[in-house]
Amino acid sequence: MDLFTGKLLWPDTLPQPPQYPSLEEDITCDVLIIGGGVAGALCGYYLMKQGVNAVLVDKRSIGAGTTAANSGILQCSNDKSLTSCIHSFGEQNGVRFYQLCRDAVNELGRICAELDLDAEYLKRSCLYVASQENDLASLRKEYELLQRYGFSVSYWEAEQISRSFSFHKPGAIYSEGDAVFNPYKLANGLIEILSKKFGLRVYTDTEIRSHVAYENHLVFHTRMRRTITAAKAVIATGYEAQMMKRNPNAMLESTFAVATQRLGAFPGWYEQCLIWETARPYLYIRTTADNRIIIGGMDEATANAQERDAMLLRKKELLLAETTKLFPELGRLQAEYSWSATFGSTHDGLPLIGTQEEFPHCYFALGYGGNGTVYCTIAGQIISSLIASGSHPDAHLFRFDRPSRQLSYS
């Protein structure tokens, strides 16, 4: 699958990533993890912490798939609001989903601290702005629900926004507890630590072509005619998992992003907080550890790579223009990096985590949605528990066969 086109920022931040061999012999393990991006790395972390004998393979190098085009934003809130989650899934399940996301943002910070992993993890506040006056009623309702259930939020009127930022918006939810990070450094750094300190066996340039399921084990066949025998497997191949089986809840689209030159200061930008908006598709803006701005969004409802890539130049210009409109004091912004990428989400707004009937002994970690890395953290916790003990109290929220009534996205 053609996942992205353009010049990516994150690989340039780690010009000499750790290298691993390709698989050149037949091997066995307890669990095979397929996919060396953020999802595979986090699943590997939780499995290795439980002492599982695991192997991780990727047909590319580590972090070279969708992870390399990841925005690097971690949020408690989601593309699907808490209001909509409660409407679709009920109060208990909707609130629990948001609590899991909040906990996952903190959990990633804890992992980085525990392992002394430099993934450029930085806590950030967030401003969720009303794109137009008509959005204020729903925005205030969302704020009231978030506050009621213990999330650290406050409501900002237009005057307060204007005092803190160089732009004017009719209202916003200001929240604390979000974060940013470098997804490429996270995947590479975490897998390197798991390999050196926990015994994770890692093979790159190792493409799985097929597998056979037996009563108590799986046998995977690689492109180079090697086999991997495992009791269980974790499929962490991101959007390419749809090539194994197209899930009716999943939808693939296209997204666009720009990273500017390094800047000396950010006038009119309170706390360099994350910014996103109520409009759909939405625009998001963040800063990086080396003082660039990443602007992304303007999604298009096409999964055709040629159509997507043909839009990149125009989307780059529009993203820069929107940022200049918000922050005119920044001066002339240049796109030192710009890329278009496949983006996956689900109709009901929740990721896909767990088993599928047609794939015995396999567990899927598909963090589809704008909060993908947060979902991958949740997936790692759930799947490792399912493999180790056979259950997890939150697994039902994300199962593939969840009731079809949840497919109404509101």
CB 259 within 8 A of CB 266: no
With a cut of 50, say whether residue 407 has pLDDT above it.
no
Residue 405 in this model has a pLDDT that exceeds 70: no
pLDDT at 200: 98
Count of CB atoms situated within 10 Å of the CB of 71: 23
pLDDT tens for 53-96 read 999 999 999 999 999 999 999 999 999 999 999 999 999 999 99
- Tell me the pLDDT band of 403, cut-offs 50, 70 and 90: confident
* Nearest CA among 128, 142, 162 for reference residue 87: 142
Q: Encode 191-208: b = buried (16+ Cβ within 10 Å), e = exposed.
A: bbbbbeebebbbbbbbeb
Q: What average pLDDT does range 316-332 have in this prediction?
A: 97
Q: What does the pLDDT look like over 237-292, one tens digit per residue?
A: 999 999 999 999 999 999 999 999 999 999 999 999 999 999 999 999 999 999 99
**Mean pLDDT across 317-333:** 97
Is the CA virtual torsion 369, 374, 376, 381 positive or negative? negative
Specify the pLDDT at position 392. 98
Percent of the chain past pLDDT 90, that is, above it, reads 98
Q: What count of Cα atoms within 13 Å lies in the side-chain half-sphere of residue 118?
A: 3
Q: Pairing relation of β-strands 362-366 and 227-235?
A: parallel
Q: Rounded distance, CA 157 to CA 154, Å? A: 10
Pairing of strands 201-203, 293-300: unpaired
CA distance 383 to 193: 20
Instruction: Tokens for 181, please give them.
Output: 């990070």
Looking at residue 404, its pLDDT comes to 62
| Position 406 pLDDT exceeds 80 | no
Q: Which of 217, 211, 313, 206 is nearest to 256 (CA)?
A: 313
Q: What percent of the chain has pLDDT over 70?
A: 98
Put simply, whether the predicted model's pTM sits higher than 0.95 gets the answer yes
* Collapsed DSSP state (helix, strand, coil) of residue 128: strand
pLDDT (tens digit, 9 = 90+) per residue, 114-138? Answer: 999 999 999 999 999 999 999 999 9
pLDDT digits (tens, 9 = 90+) for 174-205: 999 999 999 999 999 999 999 999 999 999 99
